[in-house]
Structure 1
């Protein structure tokens, strides 16, 4: 952005110098340069005003960040645009006033047609297109009054209007390209974040499976080696290993050492424990997750329900729901079989 702005400023200053020289170079005997110098000086002030005045508090180092109309140094302040319009209205009248009628179509007397057009082009690039077109209308009316319509059209007014039109088209296309680039960058960031989260999830699942296999692996090897002929103690161990493997795959985020011990104790006394993690805990902080797991472990240690269902689901208020039922309870709406209903609240962000 800085390099582009520097190139545009250089072109604008070069044009400014050219029109300033045109306004000052006069034929021999054409009078003193006081009034032409005043007109050229006013033109230079307007050009610098349109080029470099920025909104209060804007930081030129931040140029290029944010939407096109919010970038520092891009939008010309309203007061500056108004001052430029007033100056644009003054210059043609002032030049016509100090130039003899017979010389008003000479090069040194029509320099303002291109000069004012250059200033208005800068104003359009600074995201003031309406003000620029108002200035073009003022320039056309005043120059037509001073030198006539046909000379106005042939001596530079058409070119000035064309510059403003091209500047507005470039502004529209540039802003659109900027918005498309910003949208593409946002999509790329979202895609990168999604890919990173998926990589973390795959890594976490791989670690959980490795952990579960490390726990259940010896028991599974014993089952295979014995051909399924196990003692009662080995069957119990195999049942616990199978349950732990299932828990690690279905509800890894609900588990820590205390929860695993509580679930194992419930299964040792003959209870059936089912764990489901259907999401909803991904945005919980590690501290909040530890608190939820601690409450879950305490609830499991203090229940003797034969069937226990532990479930987490996306809910704004509840982190985990624990349901305990009797051994014969089948229907989820059969309240006579319900022995435990515990909802662990979701930790707040401040926690």
Structure 2
């Protein structure tokens, strides 16, 4: 089941405020979706995800197929009960992970043959197999199997940038796989929602061809894939500006694997409703913190004795403790930069747990502010203020 209600539109951009109803709950858009590759968002308790306002999270079809396996998933009735998450889940198709295997996989019209990175077993992924796996996972949003068109063919230095001809071949394969995915999804009687994925590399006319073919297939929702795959930032922004707002206005639009806070706000302005990215969690584990006033490197020596929280305006547990009151508003219960610097230097697991909570809270709170600005007709003002504050620096 999927129902999308368009609630507000911004007169000065393509930004929109919507509501997405799925089998496991309602999602307010625009939204950022935390990534839970193996059935868990790294370093975060499910209760913390609830508390910080996560409405929908991701699971990874490929990795869950490898471990724990479909027999275990089936015995739990799907991913929700297995990981104790009662809100919506989106699963990717496995296409990106298969693409990233490089020499370990062989792509044909039928699908992809590859060696398991876990135990070396010979395996086969096709559109039909991907739909069967995701049906067992019982995810609310299922993604078609596609070929993720790389920006580089081969290794940098010895390879070449993907040509228009190569991008066309890849896009057309994904288009055929989209129809096979849809046919198998319907044959299985899956009660959830299937999204088509627009491909075409960095070529706008190929993106348009892909988009038109998918719209004709009438998917419940659409994604833009094949960005943030090594291309220069200006090319990613070019595709972001070209494609999302050309998708049907009455259906949800998802930009896959993007990105920085700046990417999210710009994506909203271009008509995107849904985002996901490993950046807030991965960067947190590597000591990079996102704040209202720019990025902070907690490993820098200048934080060794700093009593301030990560972000004085933040109400997450790392910054405000259990009070939920920001430093700016008089709260003093959060953890200091000095303490988090100490945890990082000592390799204590509490450090990345707290910084992950903060980064995810920052992303989710940014999307909440975006939604509120759209409701109030103030998105342009928020967009300008966001850019100014982020440029100020911590």
TM over 0.5: no
TM-score normalised by structure 1 residue count: 0.24
Select the structure with the greater relative contact order (CA < 8 A; seq sep ≥ 6). 2
Greater percentage in strand? 2
Larger Rg: 1
